[in-house]
Structure 1
Amino acid sequence: MENNLPVNIREYQELAKKALPKMHYDYINGGAEDEHTLRDNIAAYGRILLRPRVLVDVSNIDMSTNLLGYDMPSPIIVAPTGSHKLANPEGEVATARAAASCNTLMVGVN
């Protein structure tokens, strides 16, 4: 981690492992039962390849998009998850504030 800023999921996992009690980290990082779906998801993301492009002008990139009438600076949203209070005392409220500060959406489940 250069400058202590994480740049990928593994680096975020390392930071979480250091910051959270072991029981909380294991719960958040794990999957249900035999973890078949967790392994399948990891494998699926591993098959997504980004094609690097060099010598391309990136000084004026616009990643903004519109989702259901809501303008966002990038196509990134916060997916529905639970147990946020294991990582922060304010729980989902802190996550919602963070999403709002980034002008993005947090998906909820009823």
Structure 2
Amino acid sequence: MDQIVNVNEFQELAKLVLPKMYYEFYSGGAEDEHTLKENVEAFTRIMFRPRVLVDVSKIDTSTSILGYPISAPIMIAPTAMHMLAHPEGETATAKSAAACNTIMIDISKDEEL
């Protein structure tokens, strides 16, 4: 695989490189996995309409969330156990978010939900 172009390809690569137990932790969902199934189905309903012969050299995807400017309307959801996949864990994820000028949502275990 020369270049990953979609989430499914990324998932297949993760399956090859992570220990089975770690992969299953990341790819699974809570309890009966109802929300996971609904999310997958929801994404299949999203269709992008390609625009041909349109100048895309000056497109700006930046926006702001609660007054914080970000590069695109993409954020990193709160997740756990990043160290199963990378020795720097959540620190590496936070650095990546900062490098991409986006938001990593963190819910500290000390805080009440």
**1:26 equivalent in structure 2:** 24
- Normalising by the residue count of structure 1, what TM-score does the alignment of the two structures yield? 0.90
Output the CA distance in 2 between the equivalents of 1:44 and 1:12. Answer: 19
Equivalent position of 2:66 in the other structure: 68
Q: Give the match for residue 33 of structure 2.
A: 35
Separation in structure 1 between the aligned mates of residue 33 and residue 57 of structure 2, nearest angstrom: 42
Q: CA RMSD in A?
A: 1.2
TM-score normalised by the chain length of structure 2: 0.88
Q: Percent identity of the aligned residues?
A: 59
Rounded Cα–Cα distance in structure 2 between residues aligned with 1:104 and 1:38: 24
CA-to-aligned-CA distance 1:40-82 (integer Å, 9 cap, x gap): 1111111111111111111111111122222222111111111
Instruction: Give the SS at the match of 2:40.
Output: helix
Q: Which runs of 4+ in 1 moved over 6 A?
A: none
Q: Which residue does the alignment assign to 2:42?
A: 44
Unaligned runs of 5+ in 1: none
* Matched residue count: 108
Mind listing any 5+ residue stretches in structure 2 that lack a counterpart?
none
Distance in structure 2 (CA, Å) of the matches to 1:38 and 1:103: 27
| Post-superposition offset of 1:18 | 1.2
Give the Cα–Cα distance (whole angstroms) in 2 for the partners of residues 57 and 31 of structure 1: 41
